[in-house]
Amino acid sequence: GDEHVYAPNLLKRQFNPTTYNTHWVGDITYIKSHQGWSYLACVLDLGTKEIVGYALSSQPNAALATAALNNAIQRQRPNTQELMFHSDQGCQYSANVFREKLKHLGIEQSMSRRGNCWDNAVMERFFRSLKTERLNHLAFINHSSVVSVVEQYIQFYNYKRRHSAIDY
C-alpha cells in the first residue's frame, strides 16, 4: 500500500551528535507476564546514549509514547526548540495527539522509513540489551513485577553499564 509519511527522516542514521538534548529517539517494546503484556516506551538521548525518559503501561497507545516523552522533558528540561525526536512510523508516534504534543513544544519530528528498523538502530539495540541481559531470563507474574525489573535495569544501563559507543 501507500506509505503515509507524517515526518521526513531527518536523522538519516546520524547516531552520534556532538551535543546532548538535541537528538532523541523513541520506540516501544513489549514484555510478557503471566497476566498479559506490558509495554515499555523509552526515549534515548543520542548524545549521551542514556535513557532520558520512559513509561510502562498495559496498553501500547499514543498515551504511552506521550508519557515517555513527558518523563524525558521533566527529567532533562531541554530547550525543546533545539530538539529533534526520531521514531518509527508506528501508530503511537503517528497519532495526532503525539504529533500535536511535539508541535506544541516546538520539537522537530523525524521518522524512520517504513519498515526499516536500521533507521532507529540505537533504540532497537537498547531493547535488545534489556531483553538479552535481563528480561529473557525471568518470568513475570504481573505488570508490577515488570515495572520493578525494567526500572532497575534502566538505572543500571544509564549509570553502571559500560558503553562502547561512548568509549566505555
Q: What is the pLDDT of residue 163?
A: 66
- Across residues 74-100, what is the average pLDDT? 96
What would the pLDDT profile of 113-156 be if each residue is shown by its tens digit?
887 778 899 999 999 999 999 999 999 999 999 999 999 999 99
Strands 84-87 and 36-45: unpaired
pLDDT at 2 over 70: no
Q: What is the pLDDT of residue 29?
A: 97
Pick 128 or 6 by higher pLDDT: 128
Q: What is the pLDDT of residue 114?
A: 81
- The pTM (predicted TM-score) of the whole model is 0.92
What would the pLDDT profile of 91-104 be if each residue is shown by its tens digit?
999 999 999 999 99
What would the pLDDT profile of 15-32 be if each residue is shown by its tens digit?
999 999 999 999 999 999
Instruction: From residue 37, give the alpha-carbon distance in Å to each of 23, 63, 81, 98, 168.
Output: 29, 16, 35, 22, 34
| 8-46: burial string, b at 16+ Cβ within 10 Å, e else | ebebeeebeeeebbebbbbbbbebebeeeebbbbbbbbb
Sheet holding 23-33, edge to edge: 50-57, 36-45, 23-33, 84-87, 108-111
Cell matching residue 99: 504529533
Sign of CA dihedral 80, 81, 84, 87: positive
